[in-house]
Amino acid sequence: MKKAILVALIIIGAVAFLSFGTSRVIKDIRFKIDCTQHLKRAADANTIEIAEKELKIVLDYLEERELTSGIVSIFLKQPKNDIGFWYGNIKASYEELLTVNPDATQLEKSNVLMKLRETLVDDGEEMTVTHPNGISVYPNNVLYFWWGLISFFFTLILSIVVGWIWWDL
């Protein structure tokens, strides 16, 4: 009887932890589809018009979800996780695109597009779209942190207890 209850508790803890992981993955995928892929397309755009269109989609998404200010960090308030700075750069880039004269030279347009690319993506060993880590679950970062931590340790501790009881009986 005691074993069955403990095994049931382990299963509940494991389901809670797997639900946490699944939820994080789904939210991350949704954010990539709805936001970062459009940022990448804007960065890759060959014309001002295409870049404007893609940034407009991103700005509408961010404003609709109120992802215009805040910090995604839980413990260390790092500048790299400042949503307001990130959003402000995207908004300023979009506004700069709107001011480009249609009669501008190809060189001027190319310079604006190169500047946009430098703002939106980080060149390193692998090119990545610039965005605050953890923004896909913002403003519920603290909830996700505790959900993952508690469900993980609940499952771990109960597994150790069940293992100990199993070997003891």
The SS3 call for residue 158 is: helix
Task: Note the Cα 114 to chain centre separation in Å.
Answer: 24
Question: What's the one-letter identity of residue 139?
Answer: P
Instruction: Specify the 3-state DSSP secondary structure of 71.
Output: strand
Domain boundaries, the chain: 2-168
pLDDT tens-digit map of 18-47 = 999 999 999 999 999 999 999 999 999 999
Distance CA(27)–CA(139), nearest Å, equals 12
**Predicted confidence pLDDT, tens digits, the chain (169 residues):** 577 787 787 888 889 889 999 999 999 999 999 999 999 999 999 999 999 999 999 999 999 999 999 999 888 888 889 999 999 999 999 999 999 998 899 999 999 999 999 999 987 667 789 889 889 999 888 999 999 999 888 888 877 877 777 776 5
E strands within 105-155?
121-122, 128-129
Q: Give CA 163 to chain center in angstroms.
A: 37
DSSP tally for the chain: helices H, then strands E: 6, 2
Q: Are 69 and 87 in contact (CB under 8 A)?
A: yes
Give dist(CA 140, CA 138) in Å, integer: 5
Rounded to a whole number of angstroms, the distance between the first and last alpha carbons of the chain is 12
